Amino acid sequence: MSIRSVLIEDILSNRENLRSLLSRHCPQVELIGEADGVESGLRLLANTQPDLVFLDVRLPDGTGFDLLEQSQKRNFALIFVTAFDEYALKAFQLNALDYLMKPIDYKLLKKSVEKVALLENLSDENRRLRNLVTNLKNTDEDKRLALPMEDRTEFIELKQIVYCESENNYTRFHLADGRIILIARTLKKFELALQDSGFIRVHNSFIVRIKSIKSISRRDGGYMILSNDRQIPISRNRKEKVFRHLID
């Protein structure tokens, strides 16, 4: 079954490159239209109703985020295509959305398209899009993090997270209500999403929410006590940065 897709990218050479990569490596993708900005993209979405949208972040008349906010319908899968943009990458990570960095690696493109092809329905994907749009309007305190699980995506408010703990290739989220959620992603995957949102990496195994810290000590190598009374060590190589950020 073909995946009806559109490209929204302002630079013609980038559209041509992506078009060529899709033709060579993703034969299941049927391109049904292209646009070069927010306004033209909105018209394209309304007229074509695609299954999949390849969307650039920076457009001449706005951003890909502006387009999503203004779109009446978001019943499509989405793959962002972007040059390095820390703000954008953080937004993608918070919402567990797929993205491709320019220049595009065809192997990563194939993987992204294959994930879309495996979607049984778009309801989970659309919840992520709605969460992205909501997060863009909210302060960090009110933002939610999308946690992809085997059978669903769970959305948790950042203010509910006490700390995150690394467990090999998994991350445990310890929440204020006592729940623990285990996610099959490394702690590093969440670091970008959570940094500058009231969290700090204090150890190779721990990221903590700053407002959950009850006390901090330089004794015994350095540690902190959190709101759930858990004692978290501060690693030697992060100690000075942590103390400078929090109390100096």
Q: What is the pLDDT of residues 41-51, one digit of tens each?
A: 999 999 999 99
Q: Does residue 231 carry a pLDDT above 90?
A: yes
Split at pLDDT 50, 70, 90, the class of 138 is confident
Burial class (CB in 10 A: 0-12, 13-18, 19+), 156: middle
- Convert the pLDDT of each residue in 150-176 to its tens digit: 878 899 999 999 999 999 999 999 999
Whole-model pTM: value is: 0.81
Split at pLDDT 50, 70, 90, the class of 200 is very high
Which residue in the block uniquely carries the two structure tokens 């709101």? 227
- Convert the pLDDT of each residue in 55-90 to its tens digit: 999 999 999 999 999 998 888 999 999 987 777 888
Backbone angle region of 124, left / alpha / beta, with phi > 0 → left and psi within -120 to 50 → alpha? alpha
More confident residue, 245 or 121: 245
Burial class (CB in 10 A: 0-12, 13-18, 19+), 57: buried
Quick one: pLDDT at residue 74?
86
